[in-house]
Amino acid sequence: MIVVEALAKQFAQGHGRRRRVVPAVQAVSFVAADGCITGLLGPNGAGKTTTLRMIAGLLRPDAGRITVAGIDVALQPQAVQARLGVLSDARGLYPRLTARENIVYYGRLHGLPRARAEARATLLAGMLDMAPLLDRRTEGFSQGERMKTALARALVHDPSHIVLDEPTNGLDVLATRGLREALRRLRDDAGKCIIFSSHIMQEVERLCDQVVVVAGGRSVAEGTVPALLARTGLRDFEACFVQLAFGNPTVGNPGGLVD
């Protein structure tokens, strides 16, 4: 379980007179349960990536508290990182290494013995339908192939908690379906706690058990998709999201029709 309580983070930009403070996250709170896919839904710049980076221990929050499996990220970041599999916004690979070497390297950094890391790489390649790619250098991989390798790399140590930052960005329909299927299996078969950030409504609607709507650095609503629809009284989830995030279901829709 991942518990996020009243998280806040601001960044300073520029120096001297030009210095200004930009609040990225102001009050984000939610609970992501085990065996459940929690969607972090928000427009661009809502603070999703900053929130996920704080969960992953990459950024220190200015205020608030995060626990992963009961462990405080601020106090024991390395213990948390050992339990987390993060597919971050930056998913660069080493182009001169093969996909297998990329995956095994991360397995070794997570403390797995070589044989176990190799076995996990083979297992994940089967699960993500990337076995033919495994022994090819990642230089020249397509967007989908790169994403699969990065996802396998994030899951190599069999983490109990998985954090995915907009994982379907740049993927085609088939690759997106494949990823959705893989995430469902991780939830259903292994009972993983999965946080999935996105700004694509259909994706969240189809995959997530629980949705947290984030806007302007704040978590503005939390619940299942039917519960959120019921709360706004709308039938279209896109309109429901716009209503929750911006307070008006017609924002960005000059026609004014929401359903």
Partner 1 sequence: MRGAWQVFTKELRDALRDRRTLLTVLLSSMAVGPLLLVALSMLVADIEASAEARDVYAVGLDAAPTLANYIARQAWAVHPAPPDHEQALVARRFEHPVLVVPPDFERDLAAGITPELLLLSAGANQRAEGSAGSVAALLQGFNQEQATLRLVLRGVPPAALQAVRIQRRDLGDSRARAAQFMRLLPFFVLMAVLYGALHAALDTTAGERERGSLEPLLMTPQPRWALALGKWGAVAAVGMGVAVLACGGFLPGQWLLRSEALSAMFQFGLRELALFLAVLLPLAALLAALLMAVAIRCRSFKEAQASTTVVVLAASLLPLLTSFNGGGEQPWHLWLPALAQITLMQRVLEGGALGPADVLLPVLVAALGTALCLASVVRQLRTAAWR
Count of residues engaged in binding partner 1, rule: CB under 8 A: 31
Q: Interface residues for partner 1 in 65-104 (CB under 8 A)?
A: 78-79, 81-82, 84, 86, 88-97, 101
Q: Which is nearer to partner 1, 197 or 232 (by Cβ)?
A: 197
Q: Which of 185, 188, 51 is nearest to 123 (CA)?
A: 185
Cβ-based nearer residue to partner 1, 86 or 212:
86
Q: Which residues pair with 210 in a beta bridge?
A: 38
**Between 94 and 132, CB nearer to partner 1:** 94
DSSP for 155-215, please give it. HTT--SEEEEESTTTT--HHHHHHHHHHHHHHHHHH--EEEEEES-HHHHHHH-SEEEEEE
In the complex, least distance from residue 238 CB atom to partner 1, rounded to whole angstroms: 30
Smallest distance, Å, CB 205 to partner 1? Answer: 28
Q: Which residues 216-255 are close enough to bind partner 1 by CB under 8 A?
A: none
Cβ-in-10-Å burial (0-12, 13-18, 19+) of 257 comes to: exposed
CA 153 to CA 130: how far, in whole Å? 12
How near is the Cβ of 106 to partner 1 at its closest, in Å?
6
Whole-number minimum distance, CB 89 to partner 1, in Å?
7
Neighbours of 171 (CB within 10 A): 18
Letters for 28-67 (x = contact with partner 1 by CB under 8 A, - = none) are -------------------------x--xxxx--------
Angle at 206 between CA 201 and CA 211, to 5 degrees: 65
Three-point CA angle 156, 158, 163, nearest 5°: 85
Q: How far apart are CA 136 and CA 257, in angstroms?
A: 50
Find where tokens 């929130």 sit: 51
Residues 240 and 234: beta-carbon distance below 8 Å: yes
Closer by beta carbon to partner 1, 11 or else 227: 11
Q: How far is the CB of 170 from partner 1 (least distance, A)?
A: 13
Q: Restricting to residues 102-131, name those near partner 1 by CB under 8 A.
A: 105-106, 108-111
Hey, which residues does 63 pair with through a beta bridge? 8
CB of 97 to partner 1, least distance (A): 6
Nearer to partner 1, 38 or 149 (CB): 149
* 66 vs 240, beta carbon nearer partner 1: 66
For the CB of residue 109, give the shortest distance to partner 1 in the complex, in Å. 4
SS3 227: helix
Q: Scan residues 150-169 and list those touching partner 1 (CB under 8 A).
A: 150, 153-154
Residues that bind partner 1 (CB under 8 A): 53, 56-59, 78-79, 81-82, 84, 86, 88-97, 101, 105-106, 108-111, 150, 153-154
